[in-house]
Amino acid sequence: MLRGLLLIGGAYLLGGIPFGILAARMGGGVDLRRVGSGNIGATNVLRTVGKGAAVLTLAGDIGKGALAVGLARLTDAPPAVVAGTALAAVLGHLFPVFAGFRGGKGVATMLGVVLAAMPAVGGLLLVVWLATAWRWRYSSLAALASAAALPPLAWGLDGRAPMLALAGALCGLVAWRHRDNIRRLRQGTEGRIGQRAAAGDGHSGT
């Protein structure tokens, strides 16, 4: 029990590392929370700082989720603890203690934890994201498509109850964090991938 709690607590702290803020400061000397949408994810970094900083952010956000779950699996933690660790890492990204609980939208970290917890499911989520982003050029739409695909993929390719609960929770969290993006997609005002962002435009999908 104690080991499980330590893993989950550590996953939250690991998930809370704000790679976007760090990459933006190193790459452009800016406070990411004060430019573009104010979101700390890779999409806002791409629009306000550039590709190099965005790649670093994406790698960091995916990597911290994968690392948190990988550590749990290395200790032979039961599936319920692995799922709890995965959820804690994503919650750490959404509500990071190191950044005033103002985090990103969880998509990259979701991908990282799923890749580590359910590799086949994670690989297909990446395909869904890439295909949707390539076809429509909306990061937020790709994120929502990936989140929507997660529960049925987890059901079909894994089937364990803790992983199904994790899939449902992550799908709901990502959809909730993208509620403003959903509104803009319906209105036709959502920013596309690669579009430069003005301060406060809010068009960030990750």
Please write the tens of the pLDDT for every residue from 25-35: 998 788 888 88
Residue that is written with structure tokens 């200790």 in the block = 75
Q: At what angle do helices 2-15 and 79-94 cross, to 10 degrees?
A: 30
In the predicted structure, residue 199 carries a pLDDT above the cut 80: no
Model pLDDT, residue 135:
96
pLDDT value at residue 38:
87
Contact 87, 166 (CB under 8 A): yes
What pLDDT, on the 0 to 100 scale, is given for residue 30? 87
Task: Give pLDDT tens digits for 142-173.
Answer: 999 999 999 999 999 999 999 999 999 999 99
**3-state SS class at 175:** helix
- Rounded Cα gap, residues 66 and 51, in angstroms: 22
Predicted pLDDT at 16: 97
| 159, amino acid identity | G
Torsion of CA 45, 50, 55, 58, to 10 degrees: 10
